[in-house]
Amino acid sequence: MRYPQLSPVRHNNLFLRGFMILFFSCITIRLNLCISSIPSSLKTLPLEGHFNFDELNYAARDFGNRYQYHPMAVLQPKSVSDIAATIRHIWRMGPSSQLTVAARGHGHSLHGQSQAHGGVVINMKSITVPEMKVYTGSFPYIDVSGGELWINILRESLRYGLAPRSWTDYLHLTVGGTLSNAGISGQAFRHGPQISNVEQMEIVTGKGEIINCSREQNGELFHSVLGGLGQFGIITRARIILEPAPAMVKWIRVLYTDFTAFTSDQERLISAENTFDFIEGFVMINRTGLLNNWRSSFNPQDPVQASQFKSDGKTLYCLELAKYFNLDETNVVNQEVQNHLSHLSYISSTLFLTEVTYVDFLDRVHVSEVKLRSKGLWDVPHPWLNLFIPKSKIHNFAEEVFGNILRETSNGPVLLYAVNKSKWDNRTSVVIPEEDIFYLVAFLTSAVPSSNGSDGLEHILTQNKRILEYCERAHLGVKQYLPHYTTQEEWQAHFGPQWEVFLQRKSVYDPLAILAPGQRIFHKTISFS
């Protein structure tokens, strides 16, 4: 029997095909063996805490409620050493493991930034020691864990008659989370963001090193981490500046129909000394019955005039002000407030006031959270969009966005308030506009599940896209706060001239790109040059 002869070309093709099959089979087997060995290697680490490999669902969700990336494991650390040992172990495994690490505090990120697909999520609230410690004296401060909630810091510092100077509107967030972004609220015009009010930090880098840093000691790491989106290290401890805490707050709301008057008053107030302690604004489009809704919490200064005010679905701008005081200062503070208000151009019939405790004022958003949770409206998608807009462009922005793109604000507040750039440290990693005054504009919308209308997720995302496209088309010089991009090219455009510094810092403190993969800035094994 004669067998057909194979041509040399066909013989070579068959040989090459067989070789490739064998080659890729070996790679697959090796990769599978490598992946399967990862849990075993993590289990052998000598830790005070432990890994959880089964109950992982909560670590694959966040406040944005739009992205779900399951980790391989969740670390429940009992000490900073547990965090360092885990990262150091992954660092020593090299780039082939593909393991990444995300620190998760309260899980209030919007786009999966606290998630690590197939990696390790560290539950920062699991650290139990050391406890918070307040230091009194001429320059008081408090030392806290990176996983501590700001509401707990407030309660502890108040025991000594002290409190931090700068806040976020929502206090049930962790120190590490807000310092990795900026941490801003209505006090930022005076004291700057929270990253301007921290003196020291303890950091675990992407190599698993535990490093103490301040402006004077390891200053490059200190400034890198502040506003660094978790890219250079995990904040495990921070020293927060304190000041004497007031007992009460005089809380005021006034309305404008004229945007120029609204912004001019804000800019005048944040540039003057000794006016208000808190200044924020928000926008309301196509809303009615506003003043009646406020009456449960605020009292109109002139009830008769207030009852005659009709919003008629107009676009309204609310200026929200607060003056802190102690009870023995009531008369003086009342006179000061009246004097400051007399220089503003709001609609006189819309002056609403109330007095609350300092704690109730700072924790005001939590009251809304409790109500929304009771109605099942808290754990819904939150397609938020936060922008920093230069003062010179805010009128252009308002005309297009509030005049054409945004039709109503019924499914979440739209914040708009001015900030002084001089209160921000340009050595940190956060990106802000170049002008001396810029505005935060925050679209804090909540999507109604299964809705196809204006309150549905797709409609809101389309609206956000239109806003961003307009900003780019009009060259407004806008920068995103809590930024979200999907490509490194977009991130490079976001950072602009700061990109090279950001890249250099990454190569020093997290060269394998192990940390915070959910930001989607770098991918593990990226080559830095």
Q: Which residue in this structure is represented by tokens 């801003």?
A: 184
What residues does 255 pair with on adjacent strands? 318
Sign of CA dihedral 432, 433, 435, 438: negative
H-type alpha helices, 257-345: 259-271, 290-294, 303-308, 330-341
C-alpha span between 342 and 336 (Å, rounded):
10
Q: How many H helices and E strands in the chain?
A: 16, 19
Contact 514, 524 (CB under 8 A): yes
The letter for the amino acid at 316 is L
Residues belonging to the active site: 108, 169, 280
Amino acid 59 reads A
- The strand pair at 120-123 and 73-76 is best described as parallel
- Contact assessment for residue 389 and residue 438, using Cβ atoms and an 8 Å cutoff: yes
Quick one: which of 382, 385, 381, 384 has its CA closest to 450? 381
SS3 of 401, please? helix
Q: Which residues of 269-297 are buried (b: 16+ CB within 10 A; e: fewer)?
A: bbeeeebbbbbbbbbbbebeebbeebeee
Our CA angle for 388, 441, 484, nearest 5°, is 60
